[in-house]
Structure 1
Amino acid sequence: MNNVSFAELVFGPAGSVFMYSMLIVIIAMTMLVSLRLLMNRRKIGYFSMMVAFIILLVQYGQLIRLAINASETDASAYTALLLKVLAFVLFNIGIYQLYNVTRMRDFVVFGFFIAVSVLVSLTFWYIPDWLQGSEQQTTLLRPLFTELYLFLLLFLSFLLVNPRVGQNGKYQIMLTVYFTSHTLHMANVYLFGGRQPFLMLLEELIPFIFHIVLFLFIFERVIEVMQAIYHSSITDGLTKLFNRKYFYNRTSQFVANRVPVSVIFSDIDNFKKLNDTKGHHMGDQVLKQVAQIVKEETEDTGICGRYGGEEMVVLVTDRTVDAAELAERIRTRVEQESIVTVSMGYSHWKKGLSADELIKQADEAMYQAKTTGKNKVIGF
């Protein structure tokens, strides 16, 4: 061991084994995150990613064996090449599926690319007569068509996949890094006969960047999923306003901290009649339109939510805003911009008042507005 130089340790088999082993660790970590997402979300994109990770693990395991044994057969060279192409194709399929619904035509396209990739890889075993040469030349030519095909796949990924996925920046970095790594590999093999140790070292180092960015890509997807789950748990699916539970919890927090807030309670007039005469689709459109007006008017002054049915509420947290004036602006806009009107009531928090009582007072004021002519604002 004392006779081993630093150069041999870095550029020799020991260095390759270390690099590939570290890559396997990173791939395994990314694979575990993808597996967790697959189990929780049941999304087919994570399954495609899992298959790609398994292929990569097999590929790097084979490279470790090759670095230790220092002997490569045609069969092992072909297997490594096929695994490399299939892993790249499946990665891009998986990333596309994470951000898009997979339809039947997509499966046809995916199957086409996988089939073409396998067929192109089979050119490894066929060298036209006019390209026949020495044994060394034949060895270099065998993977050439498949290696060039990878450049085509990179171009198609930029062209077809990139515009249709989220996290475009990270995805473009991954493709650029992969392109750089593959270009260095081609230069080393076909220009220098695979005898440039520095280029070989770069070939082993650059994939670290690719897999680290991929790990960050998957990890950020986890964050996106968690945010989406949380957002859906606190908002109403139709109006996109906060739901009743979230609104009540926030009101309770402000009241517990003795913040002088106000609550506005609104109800769309004659909403049942609208549903009965013009259908539920029109009713849903009106709900969304009114919700949008409420959201626009309260965006910087408070929290708005759908309390139930056609009832919408506002928690006014800005002390400089007059609840009566805000309610009147909402009522006026609804009357002018939609086919319905709203009855509104409001109440102010006072010492000793609970969140339930504050909301109930606003509700009672709204009920008074509704029973005394509708389309008006009344304070408790």
Structure 2
Amino acid sequence: MNNATFTELLFGPAGSFFMYSMLIVIIVMTLLVSLRLLITRRKVGYLSMVIALVILIVQYGQLVAHAVTQTQSDAGTFTALLLKLLAFVLLNIGIYQLYNATRKRDMAIFFLFLAGTAAISLTYWSIPEWLQENMEQTSLLRPLFMELYLFILLFVSFLLVGPRIGQNGKYQIMLTVYFAAHMLHMANVYLFDDKQPYLKLSEQTIPFLFHIVLFLFIFERVIEIMQAIYNSSITDGLTKLYNRKYFFSRVTQYIEGRVPVSVIFSDIDNFKKLNDTKGHQTGDAMLKQVAQIMKEETADAGLCGRYGGEELVVLVTDPDTDPAELAERIRARVERESIVTVSMGYSRSKKGVTADELVKQADEAMYEAKTSGKNKVVGL
């Protein structure tokens, strides 16, 4: 009796009802995250995904109803297939739009696939008259072209969408799982007349992996956005160094923690003249080059920031690094590798010296280097 109950639960209507209901729960969770992103980010990709997820919920809701009633008309089968195709197309459009600006060419391709989906769907009702006498063949052939069209969509998604998005690994897993589920469905229906219970069970369970990976895909997108927002709030857009506010907060953190540190203050020599004679584009290029040199030289010794204009700063946190030697290495590389030079000053933290005073001392040392010949390092 227990075995019969377990078998019925696993392979019968109750099992289908449970599986599809749980899938709806996962899709609803993904929908809520996507809806939140749509409200906050207002990006068209999230709108496409929200629509696709709503369609998926309707599709699985229909499957739940079928599991309860155990009846399915031709119109119901057609609706389920159409919803499946539309959801797949819109989901992949949405994923593409998350990582790419939607151009006119892209919109034309999107509408082409939507129109293709509509056209292929008409084949469901276009069975030749000589086949309509055989009801069994008719029921098998009606969905065939729509089912095969889904394989084309999978291939196109692998080819066109995958290489153009982030998280390509997760995306390929999603498509592979979807392909496997659809292959099992086709084998069960067209080879085994939908009478293989284990294939049917696989059809119902494999989509769990697809929707779990999809949820993780969307969730990681949230993390990417949060990281991007955080990084933009603490870094300078041009040089990608930390901005003045964040840099000073780190200096304060170390000073209040009584950790011995040093600050190096640098200024690009004759920067205004460079901008006036060679243009701001050249000035920006030199600023980025000097910033990159500073990042490379201080990678294991501390952190760099842009204090303002052409003023770049270094917080030396490694106790074994001599700020004078580090500043000289930076100055020498800038002179050797670029068309500009830098004047640099440094100061070491002392008892009773505040973060503001430490930075000011380094600034004063830099000013002394600038007024006494430029392209040199002065310590205070």
TM bin (shorter chain): over 0.9
Cα deviation, residue 10, structure 1: 2.1
Aligned position for 2:359: 359
Cα deviation, residue 133, structure 1: 5.0
Distance 2:4 2:289 in 1: 75
Aligned position for 2:144: 144
The one-letter code sitting in structure 2 at the alignment partner of 1:165 is I
Distance 1:307 1:254 in 2: 18
Q: What is the DSSP-based 3-state SS (H/G/I as helix, E as strand, rest coil) of the residue aligned with 2:347?
A: strand
The one-letter code sitting in structure 2 at the alignment partner of 1:274 is L
The one-letter code sitting in structure 1 at the alignment partner of 2:362 is A
**Mapping 1:275-286, distance limit 5 Å:** 275-286=275-286
Structure 2, unaligned runs of 5 or more: none
Q: What is the DSSP-based 3-state SS (H/G/I as helix, E as strand, rest coil) of the residue aligned with 2:279?
A: helix
Aligned position for 2:49: 49
Distance 1:199 1:138 in 2: 23
CA offsets 1:87-135 (integer angstroms, 9 cap, x no match): 1111111111111121111111111111101111111010135655501
Structure 1, unaligned runs of 5 or more: none
Distance 1:276 1:247 in 2: 29
Aligned position for 1:338: 338
| 2:144 corresponds to 1:164 | no
Aligned position for 1:29: 29
Aligned position for 1:237: 237
**Mapping 1:86-101, distance limit 5 Å:** 86-101=86-101
Cα deviation, residue 164, structure 1: 1.2
Cα deviation, residue 261, structure 1: 0.6
Aligned position for 2:126: 126
| 2:75 corresponds to 1:78 | no
Of the structure 1 ranges 68-77 and 357-366, higher mean CA displacement relative to structure 2 is found in 68-77
Judged with a 3 Å threshold, the aligned counterparts in structure 2 of structure 1 residues 337 and 166 are, in CA distance, closer, same or farther, namely same
Cα deviation, residue 210, structure 1: 0.7
Superposition TM-score, scaled by structure 2 size: 0.97
Aligned position for 1:58: 58
Aligned position for 2:17: 17
Q: What is the DSSP-based 3-state SS (H/G/I as helix, E as strand, rest coil) of the residue aligned with 2:339?
A: coil
The one-letter code sitting in structure 2 at the alignment partner of 1:36 is R
The one-letter code sitting in structure 2 at the alignment partner of 1:167 is Q
The one-letter code sitting in structure 2 at the alignment partner of 1:81 is L
The one-letter code sitting in structure 2 at the alignment partner of 1:362 is A
Of the structure 1 ranges 361-370 and 71-80, higher mean CA displacement relative to structure 2 is found in 71-80
Cα deviation, residue 8, structure 1: 2.0
Cα deviation, residue 346, structure 1: 0.3
Superposition TM-score, scaled by structure 1 size: 0.97
Distance 1:157 1:78 in 2: 23
Distance 1:133 1:148 in 2: 24
The one-letter code sitting in structure 2 at the alignment partner of 1:379 is G
Q: What is the DSSP-based 3-state SS (H/G/I as helix, E as strand, rest coil) of the residue aligned with 2:249?
A: helix
The one-letter code sitting in structure 2 at the alignment partner of 1:349 is S
The one-letter code sitting in structure 2 at the alignment partner of 1:203 is E
Aligned position for 1:204: 204
Q: What is the DSSP-based 3-state SS (H/G/I as helix, E as strand, rest coil) of the residue aligned with 1:339?
A: coil
Cα deviation, residue 140, structure 1: 0.5
Judged with a 3 Å threshold, the aligned counterparts in structure 2 of structure 1 residues 376 and 3 are, in CA distance, closer, same or farther, namely closer
| 2:310 corresponds to 1:304 | no
Distance 1:370 1:119 in 2: 74
**Mapping 1:210-359, distance limit 5 Å:** 210-359=210-359
Q: What is the DSSP-based 3-state SS (H/G/I as helix, E as strand, rest coil) of the residue aligned with 2:286?
A: helix
Aligned position for 1:189: 189
Distance 1:322 1:129 in 2: 90
Distance 1:244 1:362 in 2: 15
Cα deviation, residue 21, structure 1: 0.9
Judged with a 3 Å threshold, the aligned counterparts in structure 2 of structure 1 residues 324 and 196 are, in CA distance, closer, same or farther, namely same
The one-letter code sitting in structure 1 at the alignment partner of 2:169 is G
CA offsets 1:26-51 (integer angstroms, 9 cap, x no match): 00001111111111211211111100
CA offsets 1:255-286 (integer angstroms, 9 cap, x no match): 11111110000011111111112111111111
Cα deviation, residue 354, structure 1: 0.7
Q: Count how many residue pairs are aligned between Structure 1 and Structure 2.
A: 380
Cα deviation, residue 5, structure 1: 2.8
